[in-house]
Amino acid sequence: MPLPKPMQDLLSLPTASYVETAVMDYLARACRRLAHVNIKYDRYHNLLAHYRWKPRAVTPLAFVAHTDHPGFVAREMLDRRTVRAAFRGGVKPEYFPGARVRFWSDGRWIKGRVVKLTRVAPAHVPGWSGRPEEAMLRVAADVRPNAPGMWDLPEPALKSNIVTARGCDDVAGTAAMLTLLQRLSRKRARCEVYCLFTRAEELGFIGAIAAARVRTIPKRLPVISIETSSELPNARVGDGPIIRVGDRAAVFTPHLTAFCRRVADELVERRKSFKYQRKLMDGGTCEAFPFIAYGYAATGVCVALGNYHNMDTGRQKIASEYVSLGDWLRMVDLFEALVRDERGPAPATPAMRARVDALFAEADAETMLRA
């Protein structure tokens, strides 16, 4: 079975922080073809797609996913076969020596290999020996400055419902958002949604911070951060998309997480094949955090990711990342249900108050007065 087209196409493109052009251009082209979708770029070249067709719900949602993945960016050729390159993103130093890399330069891949790390910053994650920032690589041909480099891993593939790619995080998330827009547009669904495709998340959600600062998403809109997030012992690949109650940095806006859960529960009722998980995914920090920091209501939805940031911890080697196609497809189903839900997120207190008051009314609470 082939991969869904947006996934196949997007996962084969080169990308790294600040050099996301190939992914961004693909998304923009695909969105331009869709009825009732408008696109614009903010000042920082984050891409905002807006679908609107006779909406019934009061508040539109905004989904956010990042277009970069941990990788190299070529700086300069030191001699005919050696390039100095920056590394952007969180991969442990021990994975670098001798690892195979490919740069996308002037419309073709140029293969290479890491010779040595030339700059390693102090780690800010416990248990890490450092954070690689620059390397020297042997390459087969001239690489132009600013060319994105990725680990030299196979093209995206599907086997036993598992999608493998050079980088799922978070191009698979952007593919899910594009698929949502395509579905809504094809069905002429009566709803409204914003999809923000951000840059440079792997450097500390720089694109999302920029977007929050310039209000690329209107502030009254609830934000749902879409991710592929490191698989955890209690949040496995294949067990369904995950509604996140938080990440490593923050607990998400409770009423928005509750909204996602209510809609997911209703989807379970309607469709026997739907399943989901609700977890604290604290293997990483996601873009909900900067939006919360800037006063937005924000939560997150993700699929569990294997070989997070290309680190196969078992073999201690660089490897393809992977996600479950079933999780990914159900995540898109959940997006659609969230967007088409006519009630929308309820303010936290009244909904919770109604629930506890119902419990109180059912119980023989008066006995407490006599005790």
Q: Which residues bind Zn ion (CB under 5 A)?
A: 169-170
Residue closer to Zn ion, measured from CB, 267 or 305? 305
Strands 82-88 and 131-139: antiparallel
Q: What 3 state SS string does 121-153 have?
A: ECCCCCCCCCEEEEEEEEECCCCCCCCEEEECC
Q: Based on CB atoms, which residue is closest to Zn ion, 169 or 321? A: 169
Q: What is the three-class DSSP state of 301?
A: strand
Our CB check for Zn ion shows the closer of 16 and 137 to be 16
3-state secondary structure of 168: coil
Measured CA distances, 34 to 27, 196, 252 (Å): 11, 16, 32
Q: Which is nearer to Zn ion, 170 or 321 (CB)?
A: 170
Q: What does the CA dihedral 20, 23, 24, 28 come to, rounded to 10 degrees?
A: 170
Closest CA to 84 of 116, 120, 111: 116
- The CB-of-16 to Zn ion minimum distance in angstroms stands at 13
Closest CB to Zn ion among residues 169, 333: 169
Q: Measured from the CB of residue 228, what is the shortest distance to Zn ion in angstroms?
A: 6
Burial class of residue 198, CB neighbours in 10 A (0-12, 13-18, 19+): buried
Min dist CB 66 to Zn ion, Å, is: 6
91 neighbors 284 (Cβ within 8 angstroms): no
Least distance (Å) between residue 60 CB and Zn ion:
24
Q: Which CB sits closer to Zn ion, 293 or 337? A: 293
DSSP 51-120: EEES--SSS-EEEEEE---SEEEEEEEEETTEEEEEEES---GGG-TT-EEEEEETTEEEEEEEEEEEEE
Structure tokens of 40?
């614009």
* Shortest separation between residue 264's beta carbon and Zn ion, angstroms: 21
Q: Tell me how far, at minimum, the Cβ of 340 lies from Zn ion, in Å.
A: 26
Shortest spacing between CB 370 and Zn ion, in angstroms: 57
